[in-house]
Amino acid sequence: MSKLVRFGVSLEEDLLVKFDRHIKQRKYTNRSEALRDMIREELVKKEWTENKEVTGAITLIYNHHTRELVTKVLDVQHDYHTCILSSQHIHLDHHNCFEIIVTKGKSKDIEELYQKLKAVKSVKHAGFMMATKGKHIT
């Protein structure tokens, strides 16, 4: 475990009040936990902007009855097979499906995969979650 270091932060009072309100809404037990999470989020974003090897998840909602839609979605996934670890297909109801695609690879490739899947005609919704492999974040 890393050595714990304490440091002081100076903020305008109004900003601190807003921050305290924010951490209370998010159920943080203290300011330190909230600051750690904010710092980690920024470090994850940095990995993505620097095209590091990262991980993430892509979600899709679509009507599987739409002609050739599933084939198009699968064709895109096969074009990016090297950065797809796993996918899960969930039947929400008779028409709608929810697909979760777990990725690992260069951030540029994963973002490209997401944009291509999102652009497939008749995909109702696409979501994207950036994550890290955790090597550079404690």
pLDDT digits (tens, 9 = 90+) for 74-123: 999 999 999 999 999 999 999 999 999 999 999 999 999 999 999 999 99
Count up the domains in the chain and report the number: 2
Residue 21 confidence (pLDDT): 96
User: Quick one: what percent of the chain has pLDDT higher than 90?
Assistant: 89
**Residue 97: CB partners within 8 Å, gap ≥ 6?**
60, 61, 62, 63, 64, 89, 90, 91
Q: How far apart are CA 111 and CA 103, in angstroms?
A: 10
Give the tens place of pLDDT for each residue, 31-85. 999 999 999 999 999 999 999 999 999 999 999 899 999 999 999 999 999 999 9
Distances (CA, A) of 4 to 33, 36, 58, 79: 13, 12, 35, 45
Domain that holds residue 90: 53-131
Query: Mean pLDDT in the chain?
Result: 93
In a domain, 138, yes or no: no
CATH number at residue 21: 1.10.1220
Q: Which SS3 state, helix, strand or coil, does residue 2 take?
A: coil
Question: In terms of domains, do 61 and 18 share one?
Answer: no
Residue 44 CB coordination number (10 Å): 20
Whether residue 34 lies inside any domain: the answer is: yes
The CATH number of the domain where 77 resides is what?
3.30.70.1150
Give me the helix-helix angle, 13-25 and 31-49, nearest 10°. Answer: 90
Q: Are residues 22 and 85 in the same domain?
A: no
Instruction: Verify that 45 and 58 share a domain, yes or no.
Output: no
